[in-house]
Structure 1
């Protein structure tokens, strides 16, 4: 019997790469995101391999999250795998110069959005006495770097919630784990720098960053382990990255 996975933040980056890999492995998918046109394109691409359902919502919108997940057709209502991938960084400023709206966006997406989606799906996993939740964190969940303040705080919260979920849900037969990527070349920096493409591109110059496909491979590895194996917490960085602030860049 084929499994079903729900992936948030599936319209780009790690989420999209994970949807493609899952589809290639015969996992039916529910792809979630704000950009419906991108989701429709991805659905068209992958629907020749597996069954694909779209949920177009912003994880910050509690009502939309619960309504969307409650509206899933019977075929997609039994979710075996949840990939809590949606997340963003907004701005890179000292705490005294931070934009309150940026703070709220990061907390609402990275923390509250993860909670809303999890809250909507966990009850059915408990009823089934099975399920697998992968929370996508960041190396920022493990260390704080200059000007990272609220983003780092939000990812530290993801780390704490991942541990709490594992403690609270393990006796229901639910596996919970987190993957914490370092520098991955996605739209992440373009969002952080509010569309400043030149500034965003410099983040990934002078070394070979991770790709979304690298992280998708690791996610699939985690969810494809035997039922008694749980990858609880994993940090992955490109070879040239030693920490959030130490990167071996060879710039000309």
Structure 2
């Protein structure tokens, strides 16, 4: 396969890149920290890994870079949008930055990706949202809201595929707690998965062309509870 993996410098994204590279797939890997992307390329010197600097918040530049990825790979089979940001008790500026990356940046890339696959007639778009898409949060309402937007947007794209583009698949990945740099700040985490385990489950879900996947699988229990618990109780938990 020829894959674009957006947000591959650390955590889930890097583990996914390592997994796909070890399987012999050709990848464009993007992120803001180019040094880390170069390290990834050097880790697999005999594989086709193309590092590309991308700031998802700069949406016009990011979309132009997607054009460059298309020219570089020739043809794209899979696009994974893993870029995202979150802050504990964010300032106003941090809340806006969260929306710029998790909402505006995501739409810019997802819209480009879906239109590319629709024109091609086949392909798969994968977005990494979060278990946080299931509810609001007293601590980070902007983060939870941004992930809910991503999940809802992907749901709409799946509806569009059902109506117009049946060979274009859209997979929504909803991780719970994964041991990544972004979650180091969290307290009281449970059922914490390694990035490697998360990557394996995500890759399996992509092959199966699943619509919505919780990572790890047991988090579907929590997702179900979040749908039925009252807001007063959720406010104590989140």
Task: Calculate the TM-score normalised by the size of structure 2.
Answer: 0.84
Find the partner of 2:195 among 204, 207, 212: 212
Residue matched to 1:144: 136
* Contact kept? 2:28, 2:69, Cα under 8 Å: no
Residue matched to 1:159: 151
Counterparts in 2 of 1:129 and 1:47: CA distance versus 1, 3 Å: farther
Distance 2:155 2:217 in 1: 25
* Contact kept? 1:78, 1:124, Cα under 8 Å: no
Find the partner of 1:82 among 60, 72, 79: 79
Query: Any gaps of 5 or more consecutive residues in structure 1?
Result: 93-97, 191-199, 246-252
Task: Calculate the TM-score normalised by the size of structure 1.
Answer: 0.80
Find the partner of 1:118 among 92, 110, 114: 110
Q: CA deviation at 1:91?
A: 2.6
- Secondary structure in 2 aligned to 1:71? helix
Residue matched to 1:222: 205
Counterparts in 2 of 1:209 and 1:128: CA distance versus 1, 3 Å: same
* Contact kept? 2:7, 2:13, Cα under 8 Å: yes
Residue matched to 1:187: 181
Size of the alignment, in residue pairs? 222
Aligned Cα root-mean-square deviation (Å): 2.3
Find the partner of 1:70 among 59, 67, 70: 67
* Contact kept? 1:91, 1:102, Cα under 8 Å: no
Query: Any gaps of 5 or more consecutive residues in structure 2?
Result: 227-233
1:151-172: CA deviation from partner (whole Å, max 9, x where unpaired): 1100110110110111113432
Distance 1:239 1:132 in 2: 25
Find the partner of 1:56 among 53, 57, 73: 53
* Contact kept? 2:83, 2:101, Cα under 8 Å: yes
Distance 1:120 1:9 in 2: 16
Q: CA deviation at 1:115?
A: 1.2
- Secondary structure in 2 aligned to 1:72? helix
Residue matched to 1:106: 98
